[in-house]
Structure 1
Amino acid sequence: MSQPLDLNQLAQDIKQWGKALGFQHVGITDTDLSASEPALQAWLDKQYHGEMEWMARHGMMRARPHELLPGTLRVISVRMNYLPAKAGFASTLKNPSLGYVSRYALGRDYHKLLRNRLKKLGETIRGHCTSLNFRPFVDSAPLLERPLAEKAGLGWTGKHSLILSRDAGSFFFLGELLIDLPLPIDRPVKEECGRCVACITTCPTGAIVEPYVVDARRCISYLTIELEGAIPEEFRPLMGNRIYGCDDCQLICPWNRFSHLTDEADFSPRQALHAPQLVELFAWSEEKFLKVTEGSAIRRIGHLRWLRNIAVALGNAPWDPDCLAALQQRQGEHPLLDEHIDWAIARQLEKRSADAVEVRSAKQQQRLVRAIEKGLPRDA
């Protein structure tokens, strides 16, 4: 007669197996996210999701993991560090002739890597059970991963809406494994943001409209990645040289002085994306864009939006005849691109005459760079 399954021991084993697979923290929680539903509905009602219509389409399913996998009793939440060594945050942001790519996107697309590791974890668990249904998720389904991570004890939700860990900051990916075992659950940790509002005041576009609430329509990550059409003119001067995503709210956070560097080779920066010259990037053909971004999260925005983002950055760069020539060379290729090129050319021809918005943006950039150089781990 087989011994009954020791769920407490299995939970401990799962955490060890997870760490052996490269996850820095593994937590377990139940599927009850009812406490998150009112905030989610209010966020949707205010249209803060912008053009991300799938957010509204799935509605409250995001707060109901058991609807994704019937029979789900627990969610195993994991995190994996992605901060690369020599990330060059400050050196890239303070040089407006370079393009800044959010550091999570410098290496290989994390979705497949984490999903494969989670699948291996599920298979390992199944090997120690009579039966097990499981399903891994990494940004691949309507699931409130941050509230789940918070409930599983991975950290607390910071005022920038990201998960923060006292021991590891916020430079990490999240993933989930839904299972049908009634494992013991972990406890949440207490919030430790205190009175700090650095992320709110530093956001270049004022996207953090109140603590814990981000209006995606103002967020540079949304504008450069999710938005398919024209970037609103009011935000273009504030984007600086950020051409794919934005890390400002993380860079200014005091807790990220405790961030850990990744030891995953797949997250190492690709040379062509690490502090690249804007003029050179803008000359890329679609063929070269697809080749350089193969296996990268960047590829999904496509060549046109890539050029759109770079055009804005060229418009924000100091007067340079090379910038002007690069912009003029691509005129007439596409109406969407032309709109941003025309704006950038006008900015270049104004020789960067400072207005109130631009002065504000420059001061924020300088303050951010000083904070980066002072606060982040030395090797980052």
Structure 2
Amino acid sequence: MSPASVDVPLADGGWHTVTLSEPRQWKDHPGPYAERVAFAAAHVVADPRGENVPGAAAVVDWDSTLAFRRELFRYGFGVAEAMDTAQRNMGLDWPAVQELVRRSAEQAREYDARIASGAGTDHVGAVTTVDEVRAAYAEQVEFVESTGSQVILMASRQLAAVAAGPDDYLSVYAELLEQVREPVVLHWLGEAFDPQLRGYWGSADVEAATATFLDLVRAHADKVDGVKVSLLSADHETGLRVALPAGVRLYTGDDFNYPELIRGDGTHHSDALLGAFAAIAPAASAALTALDDGDLATYDAEMAPTLPLSRHVFEAPTYYYKTGIAFLSWLCGHQRGFTMVGGLQSARSAVHLGRLFTLADEARLLPDPELAAHRMRVWLEGAGLAR
């Protein structure tokens, strides 16, 4: 049988023929890794029959959503649940968040897998005082803890809107950290992922914001498992991880530079909490397995083909990366259709998604090339780009 091929559109009006590679047989990794802690931030699968239009309440395909998390467990990853990858603040409303965390935590217990879930303030809408933000955080933290999941304290749009300066951030987070039952992950999400978070920690100057952030972590290190930093700056991350108190992990959120940051410099390294891992799980698993074996050359070789794909998925405007994650999940057969809550499937162009298809094939991350080719052709035809 001849290999499947698809003509994908180029921005200059031309076409590129993708002849799909033979699928690679990736090895399962049923348990966690020895040398790194690795979470994959997972997306949600929309119910194709649901009214998942902009502004509507999310209607989730629970079977496919939970099955996707089992796919991540299969490759040794913990799940970072109800994060920005799952469309927090971009279509996933609070009732759906609660159901998602509850179901996912129950499944993680069944599979003896690690789970950490986002607690924020997105259920309250506009607020006018810091006390309202504190109360909103406390409500979500209490819910996440009630499911048995570890807590990820997400960055808050509401706090960014009402905080007068660094002291307001410190007071809110300090009170939360004094109340949590178990150590949490602190999430610093940069403005590339959410423009409404510009100036988080009380300053648009990254150096000043970092100083405030470190003051908080040092004062409450016993309640901080790690920090998840998504500023897309490798230099900032390497400096920050050296400055963290002993025992506090840095979970990289840098989808542009994760191979070098996870690999480390021989003295310090980053662990991982990445949306990219939802797209490249088999390859990332192979790389982390090699790292456990001390085989840095294989680690580098396994990670290398994933980086162009990840950088493309997360290109500006970065906050629309979720569209690429869901499209790749559909191409790989993990969901019935390419539909997203909030209608977000419209957020990337045909040229962008055609390039994603090309890069996923080059990384050998399409497990059924015939299916992927068929779905790509059907989608291009629907977009008026059949050739």
Does the pair score TM above 0.5?
Answer: no
TM-score normalised according to structure 1 size: 0.25
Q: Which has the larger radius of gyration?
A: 1
TM-score normalised according to structure 2 size: 0.25
